[in-house]
Amino acid sequence: MATQMSRKLFGTDGVRGEAGTFLTAELATALGRAVTTSLDADRPQVLIVRDTRESGPMLEAALAAGVAAAGGEALLGGVLPTPAAAILVKRLGLDLAAVVSASHNPFQDNGIKFFSARGTKLGDEVEARIESLLEEQPPATISAGSVRELNGGLDDYLRELAAAFPLDLSGRHIVLDCANGATFRAGPAIFERLGARVETIGIEPDGRNINAGCGSTHTDAIAERVVSSGAEIGFAFDGDGDRVLAVDGSGRVHDGDELIALGARGMASRGELAGVVVTVMTNFGFHGAMAEAGIDVAVTQVGDRYVIDEMLRRDWQLGGEQSGHIIATDFVATGDGIAAALMTMRELGESKLDGAAPMQKLPQTLVNVTVADREAVNDAASVWEAVERESEALEGRGRVLLRPSGTEPLVRVMVEAPSADEADAVCGRLVAIVREELG
């Protein structure tokens, strides 16, 4: 345990790693105890939900034991999408929500992330406080807490979705890929409730098939099903349900940039949008489309928590990432794949996705270059000189983004240009320099 405690546990989306080796029952119990101790309440109430991984029940039980050991009340909500936790913690007036999930990762991994009583992810300072409590001798409690099941969480979440998106989808033929994950019940249920004819993929979780060849990270299956079934649209969620990609009737995948652009244009036309927040990975074509529509854009580093923080700071209603994290703060202050899918249907109205053109994407080339030391790129003058040179040549037509990975020994080189050939050529030149200087 001491080895685990000596390193920084929290990443950009909670504590995540291989279940049973890094993320052990012991660590989950310690996290449950520490986070409960950090709360300013006599008997904190902590909601715990999870996705469908086989390690989920073990970690759920261990986390709940830690909450109870610190004198709190652990409420087990079972399998629910991540955004349901953010909604329920506010709806029920609880002190904290915890989600046991590793999102789009394979089943061997798992994670624990927390939401405050306001339904927002914890800030860096709070996470640092929790980590410091892990190192300390846990305080004695006057009395042990309790663990009990919380029933009705799914129904509450579905009611919130139906109230926020009062759509009539009668006659609409829709395919959903639930990634054998946390949306396997909620996704089909809300679309059927709104009248859609629903076909499904990935609704038979067995503990190990979450994200396996399905979901938002593997869209071939849903693209094939949409085309073969004659459906008008498909939505692919990830394992914990906080992101979504869409597929139109011709089988083309539409990423988060395109769905955010569609939502932004619609909301702006109704006077509901002050601005939109995206990350540095957002396609150059998005910025051109927003400028044309007169919509202000703010840019953050990669990570949905940074997008959310900027949205809350500016009091803006819409933001997200190319990967499909789409946040509409008038519903919930975190990514919600199902809500984003319903937002897409709302903005489309009677139109089809393959006929909508909210933005014109520029061809993008991304190469991950393995390096000995990812931080060394910061001092590689020749690399940055090349980046500046290529950026100047693309000014007004595209862009270059070069950055070290936050977790792996990689430097990511991304180029967007008017043509795929130009993007490939520019990226190739930069990759060669990175390999020469840092490989």
Q: In terms of pTM, does the model score above 0.85?
A: yes
> Is 103 among the catalytic positions?
yes
Out of 38, 103, 116, 323, the active site residue is: 103
Q: Within the chain, which residue ranges are assigned CATH 3.30.310.50?
A: 364-438
Name the nearest CA neighbour of 151 among 59, 78, 51: 78
CATH of domain 364-438: 3.30.310.50
78 by Cβ neighbours in 10 Å (0-12 / 13-18 / 19+) ranks as: middle
Residue 229 to residue 335: CA distance in whole angstroms: 29
> Coil, strand or helix: which one is 101?
coil
Query: Measuring CA to CA, which residue among 404, 405, 407, 399 is closest to residue 423?
Result: 399
Output the tens digit of pLDDT for each of the chain's 439 residues. Answer: 333 443 478 887 899 999 999 999 999 999 999 999 999 999 999 999 999 999 999 999 999 999 999 999 999 999 999 999 999 999 999 999 999 999 999 999 999 999 999 999 998 899 999 999 988 766 666 568 999 999 999 999 999 999 999 999 999 999 999 999 999 999 999 999 999 999 999 999 999 999 999 999 999 999 999 999 999 999 999 999 999 999 999 999 999 999 999 999 999 999 999 999 999 999 999 999 999 999 999 999 988 889 999 999 999 999 999 999 999 999 999 999 999 999 999 999 999 999 998 999 999 999 999 999 989 999 999 999 999 999 999 998 999 999 998 767 899 999 999 999 999 999 999 999 999 999 7
In the chain, where does the domain assigned CATH 3.40.120.10 lie? 2-150, 156-355
Confirm if 181 and 239 have CB atoms less than 8 A apart: yes
CATH fit for domain 2-150, picks 3.40.120.10, 3.40.190.10, 3.40.50.1220, 3.30.1330.200 = 3.40.120.10
Residue 67 CA to residue 64 CA, distance in Å, equals 5
| Closest to 82 measured CA to CA, from 107, 99, 94, 64 | 99
How does DSSP assign 353-419, residue by residue? GGG--S--PPPEEEEEEE-S-GGGGGG-HHHHHHHHHHHHHHTTT-EEEEEE-SSSSEEEEEEE-SS
CB 260 within 8 A of CB 326: yes
Any idea which fold 156-355 has? Alpha-D-Glucose-1,6-Bisphosphate; Chain A, domain 3 (3.40.120)
Report the C-alpha gap between 88 and 122 in whole angstroms. 16
| Beta-bridge partners for 144 | none
Where do the H-state alpha helices sit in 136-185? 153-164
